Structure 1
Amino acid sequence: MKAQVGFSQRIRLEWLDYTAQLVIEGHSRKEIKARLEELLKKHLSVGRDFPTIGNREKAIVILLKIWSSPPESLVEFRNDGLKLLQAVSPELRLAVHWGMTMAVYPFVAAVAEIVGRLLLLQGSVARAQVLRRLCEQLGERETVTRAAQRVIRCFVDWGVLQDTPRKGVYQSGPVREIEDERLAAWLVEATLIARGVTLYPLDQLVASPALFPFRLRNITPWAIEENGRLTVQRQGGDKDMVVAERRR
């Protein structure tokens, strides 16, 4: 999994929704940036002295990279995500934002995977545990710790984690059932992208701790292969492996 941080601000779901909707409506990156500057004016500070970058600018960069101008290798994946946003029920829009955010910012997936593993093991998760394990993986840097804290707060804001009476300790929010096989297959692809690999066992992707807010149903090799970017190969007689096309 890639170690770049990048995602360093608390991002609200409604901001992701707003950005994606502007892309769907066909607005240019310049137009979307101007709209976001207006939207976030009341919420986030701006850098006062060049070359200081304020929280508002950082949030706009994140939002644009997720939905307006992702890496070229993810444009087709993003386009499918936009179609899903228009097709799924309102309560499942989070799953689409989750998948796109993981694919563009694997750091978020790294935090989610640690959180998911700890929830599975002990039913709750302490912020200190997440930070310790993340620093073991990526190195003990202030940027890692600070960004991870903001990602965790995003998870709380998005309802996938809930505060408990103990400060800095969280429990899982409601788990959402994903029965739409197109969405489930797209989330499998998002998890594969976030891991930075092109080959991985299907059952481990479906049950990935990074997808802890969701439970994937109706996922078959045929559904996986429908988007044209993934294939499923049988190995060892009984092991389905998901294979992704190599991204430039």
Structure 2
Amino acid sequence: MKPSIGFNRHLELSWLTQTAIWAAGGLEGAELKKHIDSLLAPSFTSQVAMDKTRNLLFGIWNGQSKASPKEFHAQACNLLLRHSEHSLVIHWGLLIARYPFFYFVVSQLGRIARHDRLFVYSQLELRVTEEYGDTSTIKRSMQFVIRTLTNLGLISSAKTGVYQLARPVSLGSAELIAWLAQAIILANDDRSRSLDRLNSDPAYFPFDIIFSESCLASSPSIELLHQASDTIVFLN
């Protein structure tokens, strides 16, 4: 049985950023929803569309979510306060950790575009529908993911049906890299992952990073275990 899709609207960076600021300031639950409603109201004429968008933003940044550990969310808020210039990576980590459909789509996208940083939409759609089913709901959700990536400046249309990936963003912060490693492990519904598999995961394509022992060892949420020729990364 396939998990719930959940990703049923596109997102704007400004909406994500403001929601993140409120969450980092301690808002959650009904109070956070109320603030998101006030943020979105000027942009919508349809109450249904606004409610779906609010629920998606809430699902990403609400601290009471059961989709990932509370400590993971608390770290996201702390990182946002210390690294506001890199808010994109924090949005990204929460998106892939909390929305399996989003993670699957961007993983397939990253895999297709690994070499020339181009992908053909029809090829991506084929892979996604083979996994989730060839339905109008799946195709609409895919379009919402693609539009969100475009709004975030991560892809652009090169020509009809073909998209270009933006230049990857460099990250120099060990704590941001370690937190993103946690997001990838959680996205795979697991508690551990080898260092080699972390570095070959296509879902972190927007960022120019290397998951190294020196970066990951600094995180109190991660434990490293050497095994044969690889290192296993465990979540505490």
Q: Which residue of 2 aligns with 1:208?
A: 201
Structure 1 position 58 matched with structure 2 position 49: no
Q: Which residue of 2 aligns with 1:46?
A: 46
Q: Equivalent of 1:136, from 124, 130, 135?
A: 130
TM-score (normalizing by structure 2): 0.91
- Matched residue type, 2:235: A
SS in 2 for 1:196: coil
Unaligned runs of 5+ residues in structure 1 are 48-53
Distance in structure 2 (CA, Å) of the matches to 1:199 and 1:151: 27
Q: Which residue of 1 aligns with 2:225?
A: 233
How far 1:225 sits from its partner (Å)?
4.2
Q: Which residue of 1 aligns with 2:70?
A: 75
- Matched residue type, 1:6: G
- Matched residue type, 1:98: W
- Matched residue type, 1:141: T
Distance in structure 2 (CA, Å) of the matches to 1:35 and 1:163: 33
- Matched residue type, 1:208: D
Post-superposition CA distance 1:106-126 (Å, at most 9, x none) = 211111111111111443112
Corresponding pairs, count: 234
Post-superposition CA distance 1:63-112 (Å, at most 9, x none) = 1111123217421101101111111252x210110001111112111111
Q: Which residue of 1 aligns with 2:192?
A: 199
Distance in structure 2 (CA, Å) of the matches to 1:123 and 1:174: 9
Structure 1 36/5 Cα, relative in aligned 2: closer, same or farther at 3 Å? same
How far 1:145 sits from its partner (Å)?
1.4
Structure 1 89/107 Cα, relative in aligned 2: closer, same or farther at 3 Å? same
Q: Which residue of 2 aligns with 1:181?
A: 174
Distance in structure 1 (CA, Å) of the matches to 2:88 and 2:68: 23
Q: Which residue of 1 aligns with 2:12?
A: 12
SS in 1 for 2:113: helix
Distance in structure 1 (CA, Å) of the matches to 2:152 and 2:141: 16
Unaligned runs of 5+ residues in structure 2 are none
